[in-house]
């Protein structure tokens, strides 16, 4: 029967398409169902286009400072529409790349909305796809508003990243609600394009999941640049008007009112678990609304696996990649190594970038770990001085007795790239001593990692 | 075309083997099926046979050396081929099914040294292992794959890494493996030992097991585990730890069994001799037939109740113990059981048991009567659900027909896996066994 496959995957985002590739590599016939473009949020309205826009922001900032480097760039003009168009091309290229990968691996791509049915079936319109081995649920997540305080996404004055990525021009002023990765990245982007930014966070600091020192460094950099950061703030009421929104806030024991041209909602995401037939198949959810899975991502219904955002936090593309591979290998009868959820790097691409792995210092304290901190600031790093990017630091938390790297936090230029040395180290259980023993080329930003390891051993050299 | 000679998995649990003796040497012609070497596995000394015709060359493992299953130990060069031809990559050879991905490239095995020095050749092996991530390459006796963190924890806590099964890539021991064996204590509040660089573990070559206290020299002697001792350690650690044991003891009057034994032996004449142990095996087997609940395997997600009775009989051997199996003991005559027990024990002591002779038992018996042990508890041999520990038959005061008299008595203690056997279940079985031993004629019922 033509509609029978070994593996049927619902959702063509990072978890789904990688699960499809790995399944195909293992010799299983695979179908991938996607209602929009392949690559999901990540490729089309998430990771990829924002990185393109962040680079535009970086170029704008660099040109404004060019004179200091002996380069006259004249007066710098920015055009968000052009930057947006470029980011769309980048996204399209990536989505086409995923299409190519599907063809290359002989994966059947089915366009449409799928609904799960018992017996390892997925209905797409009038078609029924049947999985001989397994169905992977990879439906992902979407942006959400806060309708209870008047902040329902109306796509004009109250927008989400979905709309922000398609604006023809940067708004004159923007309040961003939520200071996680999405909020801080858009603050960075729009500020470079001339928007007056107010960042609002309900928790006491920006990037609340990162180490407190990282939050502090980002706040300092943003404030210095003229981005207003209001933390510990509660939006009590929002009144969208014509071309403007009035926000009433409670922060620092007082209340205030601000008026902005638009509000960008960047506070959390909603899971795409409704109306896809989970209940009918006996697939249960957790208290937090994720699909309940075991260590091999099997749901409460035999033959149905969940991968990516719907399978639980952290809701990150690279976590989804790994889960897609893991589920495919497990279904193929292999014994994949367990996923180490405490070793998923977290990266925010605002400037300065913030990247981390493992525990924050606060978590070390909560867990009563006996730890030692090693730090090295980029202001003492030759390469960083050369590029004029001396903001930030490398911070290592190591176990006092065994030298285990409990956590690592990097703020600064290229932090997103630098973190991987420590991801590899942690994955392979290298201690700070092996990291330090590895010779780091000079002059590089990576030297700061080696120096932070040395510092944790009380032997820092270049400080 | 040259054929690699691999260290083969000669028993189901074998992960490495020690070359005891090479029967063929470099340059000797060999034929398919001929014995190349004797290999000590975790259970017995087995023969490694030639899988091709040709000339033996490039012997890469010396006598006495331990190498992981899947390593190339020699090469058989085809007739006419230069004896020194370089061994082909393993891919060209249909490796035996039981052999995992060769974890070592040719030339790696000889580099296994007691010093544990880093071996650049290992890189080639590592690269091959990556292609099959689930393959758990076995560690050899002198080298342990371990993460720097796990090594450091083991050094500080005194854990023996050789006893820890590794769950990381290529069988590497990682932190969580140590946590499974023993909880890693939280770091103590003391200054960091920055200078303590995690160097290779000090390792000593394997001397023979100490049989008596050495009068002079060091205050202790470190003896690397033999293959069998390692298996015992691993198997038993999976028993008393995770299995909820409980124990039931009963005292059995053996007078009538003794009478039966003597009568049977008179009947047999010089055709054999029945022992108390044989009678206990037979009685246990028959009692198990009536109490199938005790003749079972615990299998993680299910319990397998056996309809056949295969009795494992613990036999002490020079450097450990092994449980050869008397199959269908319930259906065999006492004379047959006696002969089988005798022969299996002999071959166990000379380490010539075949794998199918020491696997598949459904219940085990351990008898320390010959050591004049009154009673003891035995450790369950997983996945079995019970084991009977039998003490010495000894004259003990007993009340018989209202009189205090000396009777030959025996104490038997059953260890039960509470996941399978409940107290009353085990007790009922033990009562049947006691009745059979106290009245051997009941076995005929």
Rounded to an integer, the average pLDDT of A67-93 is: 95
Q: Residue B192: what pLDDT?
A: 34
State residue B130's pLDDT score: 33
Question: How high is the pLDDT of residue B106?
Answer: 38
- As a whole-number percent, the residues of chain B with pLDDT over 90 amount to 26
Q: Is residue A347 part of a domain?
A: no
Q: A165 and A88 share a domain? A: no
Can you give the residue ranges of every domain in chain B? Answer: 3-110+119-130, 243-444
Using the predicted structure, report yes or no on whether residue A277 has a pLDDT greater than 60.
Answer: yes
User: Residues A175, A257: one domain?
Assistant: yes
> pLDDT band for position B317 (50/70/90)?
confident
* Mean pLDDT value of segment B351-371: 89
Tell me, what's the pLDDT at B316?
86
DSSP assigned state of A168: S
> Considering the domain boundaries, does residue A462 fall inside one?
no
Look at B192 and A457 and tell me if their CB atoms are within 8 Å: yes
Q: Can you give the pTM of this predicted structure? A: 0.60
Q: Of A282, A307, A281, A278, whose CA–CA distance to A294 is shortest?
A: A307
Of B149, B190, B194, the CB nearest to A457: B194
Mean pLDDT of A224-247: 94
- Interface pTM, i.e. ipTM: 0.76
Inside any domain, residue A377? yes
Output the average pLDDT for chain A.
95
**Which has more pLDDT, B301 or B93?**
B301
Cβ–Cβ < 8 Å for B296, B385: yes
Question: What is the model's pLDDT at position B164?
Answer: 80
Q: Does A247 lie in the same domain as A357?
A: no
Distance CA B2, CA B107 (A): 15
C-alpha distances (whole Å) from B268 to each of A121, B73, B264, B281, B336 are 70, 50, 6, 19, 12
What is the least distance, in Å, from the CA of A363 to any CA of chain B? 15
Mutation test of the interface with chain B: which of A294, A429, A432, A459, choosing the one with the most B Cβ atoms within 10 A? Answer: A429
DSSP for B266-281 reads HHHGGG----HHHHHH
Both A126 and A75 in a single domain? yes
Residue B99 near residue B8, CB atoms below 8 Å: yes
Start-to-end CA distance of chain A, whole Å, equals 69
The residue out of A341, A368, A395 marking a domain boundary is: A341
A396 lies in some domain = yes
- Judge whether A442 counts as a catalytic residue: yes
Superfamily grouping for domain B243-444: Chloramphenicol acetyltransferase-like domain (3.30.559.10)
Listed range (A95-109, A238-252, B120-134, B289-303) with the worst mean pLDDT: B120-134
DSSP A405: E
* Per-residue model confidence (pLDDT) at position B215: 42
CA A385/CA A443 separation, integer angstroms: 10
Chain A nearest-CA residue for B147:
A429
Instruction: Write down the pLDDT at residue B443.
Output: 82
pLDDT-based confidence at B422, cuts 50/70/90? confident
Contact between chains at B187 and A400 (C-beta distance less than 8 A): yes
Question: What ranges in A198-256 are assigned the alpha helix state H?
Answer: 212-225
Question: What 3-state class would DSSP assign to B434?
Answer: helix
Cβ atoms of B415 and B375 within 8 Å: the answer is no
Task: Give B103's contacts (C-beta < 8 A, 6+ positions apart).
Answer: B68, B70, B71, B125, B128, B129, B135, B137, B138, B170, B171
CB pair distance less than 8 Å for B187 and A457: no
- What is the structure's pLDDT at B153? 86
Q: At B229, is the pLDDT very low, low, confident or very high (cuts 50, 70, 90)?
A: low
Same domain, A129 and A274: yes
Q: Stretch A30-49: mean pLDDT, rounded?
A: 96
What does the pLDDT read at residue A446?
98
Nearest to B133 among A337, A402, A404 (CB): A337
Question: For the CA atoms of A185, A188, A194, A199, what is the dihedral angle to 10 degrees?
Answer: 80
- CA–CA separation, B291 vs A258, rounded Å? 81
Cβ pair A310, A141 in contact under 8 A: yes
Domain C-terminal end among A341, A369, A398? A341
Structural tokens at position A279: 């209940």
Residues in chain A with CB shorter than 8 Å from the CB of B159 are none
When pLDDT is cut at 50, 70 and 90, the band that residue B12 belongs to is: low
With an 8 Å Cβ cutoff, are B187 and A368 in contact? no
Measuring CA to CA, which residue among B411, B364, B382 is closest to residue B297? B382
Helix then strand count (H, E) for chain B reads 8, 19
Q: Are residues A432 and A443 in the same domain?
A: yes
Distances (CA, A) of A136 to A269, A301, A325, A374: 21, 11, 11, 42
Q: Give tens-digit pLDDT for B124-152.
A: 333 333 333 333 334 344 567 899 999 88
pLDDT > 90? residue A290: yes
Please answer yes or no on whether A403 and B169 come within 8 Å at the CB atom.
no
CB count in 10 Å sphere of residue A167: 16
From chain B, pick out residues whose CB is under 8 angstroms from the CB of A337: 133, 167-169
Class of domain B3-110+119-130: mainly beta
Query: What confidence score (pLDDT) does residue B1 get?
Result: 64
Query: B233 pLDDT band (50/70/90 cuts)?
Result: low
pLDDT bracket for residue A171 (50, 70, 90): very high
Low-confidence winner among A47-61, A105-119, B200-214 (lowest mean pLDDT): B200-214
Residue B426 has pLDDT above 90, yes or no: yes
pLDDT of A12 reads 97
In whole angstroms, what is the distance from residue B145 CA to residue A254 CA?
61
Residue A109 forms part of a structural domain: yes
Q: In terms of residue numbers, what domain contains A210? A: 147-267
pLDDT at position B231: 72
Residue B158 pLDDT greater than 90, yes or no: no
Give the model's pLDDT for residue A431: 94
The CATH number assigned to the domain holding A395 equals 3.30.390.30
For an interface test with B, give the residue of A332, A340, A403 to mutate (most B CBs within 10 A). A403
Please state the φ and ψ torsions of residue B197, each to the nearest 5 degrees: -80, 135
The answer to whether the CB of A410 falls within 8 A of the CB of A431 is: no
Same domain membership, residue A253 and residue A169: yes
pLDDT confidence tier of residue B223, bands split at 50, 70 and 90 = low
Is residue A21 domain-shared with residue A131, that is, in the same domain? yes
Last-in-domain residue among A267, A289, A316: A267
Closest chain B residue to the Cα of A399, Cα to Cα: B187
Write the pLDDT tens digit of every residue in B242-283.
788 889 999 999 999 999 999 888 888 877 789 999 999 999
Is the predicted pLDDT of residue B202 greater than 90, yes or no?
no
Query: Nearest CA of chain B to the CA of A213: how many Å?
Result: 24
Residue labelled with tokens 């008299």: B405
Which residue of chain A comes nearest to B169, CA vs CA? A337
Instruction: Classify the C-alpha dihedral A84-A86-A90-A93 as positive or negative.
Output: positive
pLDDT band with cut points at 50, 70 and 90 for residue B62? confident
CA of B106: how far to CAs of A364, A447, B116, B134, B142, in Å? 46, 38, 18, 21, 18
Q: Round to whole Å and give the CA distance between B402 and B304.
A: 45
What is the reported pLDDT for B291? 92
What's the whole-number mean pLDDT along residues A339-362?
Answer: 97
Confidence band for B119, pLDDT divided at 50, 70 and 90? very low
State the average pLDDT over residues A341-352.
96
Give the total number of structural domains in chain A. 3
Q: Collect all residues of chain B within an 8 Å Cβ-Cβ radius of residue A402.
A: 149, 152-153, 156, 187
Residue of chain A whose Cα is closest to the Cα of B157:
A402
Where residue A268 falls among pLDDT bands split at 50, 70, 90? confident
**Greatest extent of chain A over all pairs of C-alpha atoms, in Å:** 69
**Nearest Cα to Cα of residue B309 among B324, B280, B331:** B331
The pLDDT value recorded for residue B80 is 62
Same domain, yes or no: A9 and A124: yes
Which residue of chain A is at minimal alpha-carbon distance from B167? A337
Percent of chain A whose predicted confidence (pLDDT) is above 70: 100
> What pLDDT shows up at residue B214?
40
pLDDT at B32: 82
Distance of alpha carbon B260 from its chain centroid, rounded?
Answer: 35
Q: Output the six-digit token pair for A146.
A: 């806060």
Give the CA distances from residue A290 to residues A137, A141, A313, B241, B395, in Å, rounded to whole numbers and listed in that order: 11, 10, 8, 35, 69
| Better-scored residue on pLDDT, A173 or B33 | A173
Highest mean pLDDT among A393-402, B392-401, B421-430: A393-402
DSSP state of B88: P
Q: Rounded to whole angstroms, what are the CA distances from A133 to A29, A80, A129, A295, A342?
A: 10, 47, 12, 18, 30
Most B-contacting residue of A401, A436, A458 (CB-CB within 10 A), to test interface: A401
Q: Which residues of B touch A433 (CB under 8 A)?
A: 148, 197-198
| B148 contacts on A by Cβ (under 8 Å) | 428-431, 433-434
The band of B109, judged by pLDDT with boundaries at 50, 70 and 90, is very low
Task: Of A86, A427, A40, A425, give the one whose Cα is nearest residue A269.
Answer: A40
**Residue B51 pLDDT:** 81
Average pLDDT, stretch B413-424?
89
CB A22 within 8 A of CB A104: no
Q: Which of A325, A404, A426, A458 to mutate to test the interface with B (most CBs of B within 10 A)?
A: A404
Residues A368, A288 share a domain: no
pLDDT given at position B118: 37
pLDDT at residue B123 is higher than 60: no
SS3 A425: helix
* Same domain, residue pair A440 and A396: yes
> Does A54 have pLDDT greater than 90?
yes
Does A184 reside within a domain? yes
Residues of A in contact with B174 (CB under 8 A): 429
Q: Are residues A195 and A118 in the same domain?
A: no
Q: List, in sequence order, the alpha helices (H) in A120-165.
A: 161-164
Q: Does B186 contact A369 at a Cβ distance shorter than 8 Å?
A: yes
Rounded Cα gap, residues B48 and B96, in angstroms: 12
Q: How many CB atoms lie within 10 A of CB A72?
A: 6
CATH number at residue A101: 3.50.50.60
Taking every pair of Cα atoms in chain B, the longest distance, rounded to a whole number of angstroms, is: 88
Asked if residue A94 is part of any domain, the answer here is yes
Query: In the 8-state DSSP scheme, what is residue A434?
Result: H
- Are B147 and A428 an interchain contact pair (Cβ–Cβ within 8 Å)? yes
């Amino acid at each position: 029967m033509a509609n029978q496959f070994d593996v049927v995957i619902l959702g063509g985002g990072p978890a789904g398409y990688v699960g499809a590739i790995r399944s195909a590599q293992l010799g299983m016939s695979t179908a991938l169902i996607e209602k929009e473009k392949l690559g999901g949020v990540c490729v089309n309205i998430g990771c990829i286009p924002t990185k393109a826009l962040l680079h535009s922001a970086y170029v704008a900032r660099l040109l404004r400072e060019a004179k200091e480097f002996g380069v006259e760039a004249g007066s710098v003009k920015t055009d968000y529409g052009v930057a947006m168009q470029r980011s769309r091309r980048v996204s399209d290229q990536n989505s086409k790349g995923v299409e190519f990968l599907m063809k290359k691996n002989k994966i059947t791509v089915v366009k449409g909305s799928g609904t799960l049915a018992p017996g390892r079936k997925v209905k797409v319109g009038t078609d029924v796809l049947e999985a001989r081995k397994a169905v992977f649920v990879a439906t992902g997540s979407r942006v959400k508003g806060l309708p209870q305080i008047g902040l329902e996404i109306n796509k004009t004055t109250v927008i989400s990243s979905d709309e922000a990525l398609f604006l023809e021009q940067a708004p004159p002023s923007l309040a961003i609600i939520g200071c996680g990765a999405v909020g801080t990245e858009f603050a960075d982007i729009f500020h470079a394009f001339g928007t007056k930014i107010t960042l609002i966070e309900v928790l006491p600091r920006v990037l609340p999941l990162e180490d407190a020192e990282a939050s502090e460094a980002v706040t300092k950099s943003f404030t210095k640049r003229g981005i207003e950061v209001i933390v510990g703030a509660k939006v009590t009421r929002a009144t969208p008007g014509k071309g403007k929104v009035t926000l009433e806030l409670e922060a620092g024991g007082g209340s205030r009112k601000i008026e902005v041209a638009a509000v960008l909602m960047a506070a959390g995401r909603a899971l795409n678990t409704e109306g896809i037939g989970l209940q009918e198949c006996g697939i249960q959810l957790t208290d937090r609304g994720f699909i309940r899975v075991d260590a091999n991502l099997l749901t409460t219904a035999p033959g149905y696996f969940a991968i990516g955002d719907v399978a639980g936090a952290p809701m990150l593309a690279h976590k989804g990649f790994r889960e897609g591979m893991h589920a495919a290998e497990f279904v193929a009868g292999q014994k994949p190594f367990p996923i180490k959820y405490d070793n998923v790097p977290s990266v925010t691409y605002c400037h300065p970038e913030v990247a981390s792995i493992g525990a924050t210092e606060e978590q070390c304290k909560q867990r009563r770990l006996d730890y030692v901190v090693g730090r090295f600031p980029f202001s003492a790093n030759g390469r960083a001085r050369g590029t004029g990017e001396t903001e930030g630091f490398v911070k290592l938390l190591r176990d006092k007795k065994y030298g285990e790297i409990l956590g690592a936090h990097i703020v600064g230029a290229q932090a997103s790239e630098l973190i991987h040395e420590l991801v590899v180290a942690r994955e392979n259980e290298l201690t700070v001593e092996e990291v330090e023993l590895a010779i780091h080329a000079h002059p590089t930003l990576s030297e700061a990692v080696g120096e932070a390891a040395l510092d944790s051993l009380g032997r820092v050299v270049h400080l | 075309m040259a054929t690699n000679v691999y260290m083969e998995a000669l028993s189901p649990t074998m992960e490495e083997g020690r070359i005891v003796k090479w029967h063929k040497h470099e340059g000797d012609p060999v034929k398919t099926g001929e014995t190349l070497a004797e290999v000590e596995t975790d259970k017995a000394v087995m023969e490694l046979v030639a899988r091709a015709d040709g000339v033996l060359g490039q012997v890469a493992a010396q006598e006495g050396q331990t190498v992981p299953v899947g390593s190339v130990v020699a090469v058989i060069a085809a007739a006419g081929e230069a004896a020194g031809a370089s061994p082909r990559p393993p891919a060209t050879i249909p490796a035996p099914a039981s052999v995992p991905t060769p974890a070592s490239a040719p030339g790696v095995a000889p580099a296994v040294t007691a010093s544990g020095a880093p071996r650049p050749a290992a890189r080639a092996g590592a690269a091959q292992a990556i292609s099959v991530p689930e393959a758990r390459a076995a560690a050899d006796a002198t080298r342990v794959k371990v993460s720097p963190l796990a090594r450091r924890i083991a050094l500080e806590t005194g854990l023996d890494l050789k006893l820890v099964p590794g769950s990381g890539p290529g069988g590497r021991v990682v932190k969580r493996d140590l946590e499974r064996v023993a909880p890693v204590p939280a770091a103590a509040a003391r200054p960091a030992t920055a200078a303590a660089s995690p160097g290779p573990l000090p390792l000593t070559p394997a001397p023979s097991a100490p049989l008596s206290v050495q009068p002079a020299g060091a205050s202790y002697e470190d003896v690397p585990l033999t293959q069998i001792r390692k298996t015992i350690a691993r198997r038993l650690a999976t028993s008393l730890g995770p299995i909820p044991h409980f124990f039931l003891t009963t005292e059995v009057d053996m007078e009538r069994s003794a009478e039966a034994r003597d009568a049977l032996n008179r009947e047999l004449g010089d055709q054999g001799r029945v022992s108390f142990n044989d009678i206990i095996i037979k009685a246990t087997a028959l009692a198990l037939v009536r109490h199938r609940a005790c003749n079972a395997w615990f299998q993680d997600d299910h319990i397998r109740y056996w309809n056949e009775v295969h009795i494992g009989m613990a036999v002490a051997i020079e450097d450990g113990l092994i449980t050869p199996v008397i199959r269908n003991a319930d259906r065999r005559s006492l004379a047959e059981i006696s002969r089988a027990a005798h022969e299996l024990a002999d071959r166990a002591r000379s380490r010539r048991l075949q794998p199918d002779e020491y696997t598949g038992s459904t219940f085990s018996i351990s008898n320390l009567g010959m050591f004049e042990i009154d009673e003891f508890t035995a450790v369950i041999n997983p996945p079995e659900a019970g084991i009977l520990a039998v003490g010495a038959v000894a004259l003990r005061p007993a009340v018989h027909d209202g009189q205090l008299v000396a009777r030959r008595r025996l104490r038997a203690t059953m260890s039960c896996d509470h996941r399978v056997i409940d107290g009353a279940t085990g007790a009922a079985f033990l009562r049947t066994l006691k009745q059979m031993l106290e009245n051997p004629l009941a076995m005929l019922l």
